[in-house]
């Protein structure tokens, strides 16, 4: 059985990603209110696995989660890319003409701005979790309140789906990382099958520093799939670079890491894993 800590409730997109990633295996969810709590669970019990969102094709990167990942001491062992579909749901007794509020996570509300604009009479209320919004409405029998969440969450909590697929962009995907204590990593991913890596490093404050690193990666046929910079607090105009790369030859990947290490400061491999599949 896999014990997986997620941010959110049962029925949340983190829940869906965890069960799809560990498809065919038994999964025991550990539901956390915050991403900080997810990493705290792993720190307290090294057998726990974490599933955490890192970026969305519409909302962009979850910058704070990059910091949490770097500081946590965990390692990335996998990823999953989940197609995000939102629905609006309410209590079975309610309908369009009885609801006056829509509750959901701020990111979900943002991803449904067009829908909300067409229903300007409904007040948007931010909550900590999409599925949690549906759960609270049902548990407290909040008449006149609706939630934006997945249709799976709506069914789980016995809610009535008023409309499905209300997200503005139908190509809405969230990328989730699977993280764990480094001592458990080899049990969760075969090193000989890895073809993707996440790195973080800083650079000397000199001309062409980043260009030199990218040139070396290109020389070794390492494909840069993402680069995200974040300021280093307390060091004006200095940045950490979070980089995702893919490779077909692990030996050349290792050689590229050896080659760029002298050009960087504090290079850290956050994880080596298989390029994640995408589910609709």
* DSSP secondary structure string for all residues of 7-64: ES-TTSHHHHHHHHHTTTS-EEEEEESSHHHHHHHHHH-TT-EEEEEEEETTTEE-HH
Span 113-140, pLDDT tens digits = 999 999 999 999 999 899 999 999 999 9
Going from the C-alpha of 117 to that of each of 96, 151, 167, 215, the distances in angstroms are 15, 21, 12, 46
Span 213-262, pLDDT tens digits = 999 999 999 999 999 999 988 888 889 999 999 999 999 999 999 999 99
Sequence-ordered list of residues with C-beta below 8 angstroms from that of 265, at least 6 positions apart, any chain: 201, 202, 203, 204
Confidence (pLDDT) at 162: 97
Span 63-112, pLDDT tens digits = 999 999 999 999 999 999 999 999 999 999 999 999 999 999 998 999 99
Quick one: CA dihedral 46, 52, 54, 57, positive or negative? positive
Residue 192 has pLDDT above 90, yes or no: no
Quick one: CA dihedral 186, 187, 188, 193, positive or negative? positive
pTM exceeding the 0.95 threshold for the entire prediction: no
């Amino acid at each position: 059985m896999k014990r997986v800590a997620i941010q959110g409730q049962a029925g949340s997109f983190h829940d869906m990603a965890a069960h799809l990633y560990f498809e065919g295996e038994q999964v025991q969810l550990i539901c956390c209110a915050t991403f900080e709590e997810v990493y705290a669970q792993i720190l307290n019990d090294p057998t726990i696995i974490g599933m955490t969102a890192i970026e969305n094709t519409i909302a962009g990167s979850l910058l704070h989660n990059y910091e949490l990942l770097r500081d946590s001491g965990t390692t990335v062992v996998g990823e999953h890319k989940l197609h995000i579909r939102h629905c609006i749901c309410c209590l079975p007794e309610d309908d369009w003409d009885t609801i006056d509020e829509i509750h959901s996570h701020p990111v979900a509300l943002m991803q449904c701005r067009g829908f909300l604009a067409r229903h300007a009479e409904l007040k948007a209320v931010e909550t900590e979790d999409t599925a949690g919004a549906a759960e609270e409405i049902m548990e407290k029998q909040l008449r006149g309140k609706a939630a934006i969440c997945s249709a799976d969450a709506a069914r789980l909590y016995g809610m009535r789906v008023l409309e499905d697929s209300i997200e503005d962009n139908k190509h809405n995907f969230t990328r989730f990382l699977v993280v764990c204590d480094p001592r458990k990593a080899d049990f969760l991913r075969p090193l000989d099958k890895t073809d993707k890596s996440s790195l973080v490093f800083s650079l000397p404050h000199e001309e062409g520093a980043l260009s030199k690193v990218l040139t070396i990666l290109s020389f070794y046929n390492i494909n840069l799939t993402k680069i995200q910079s974040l300021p280093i607090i307390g060091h004006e105009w200095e940045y950490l670079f979070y980089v995702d790369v893919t490779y077909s030859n692990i030996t050349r990947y290792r050689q590229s890491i050896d080659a760029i290490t002298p050009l960087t400061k504090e290079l850290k491999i956050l994880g080596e894993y298989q390029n994640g599949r995408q589910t609709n």
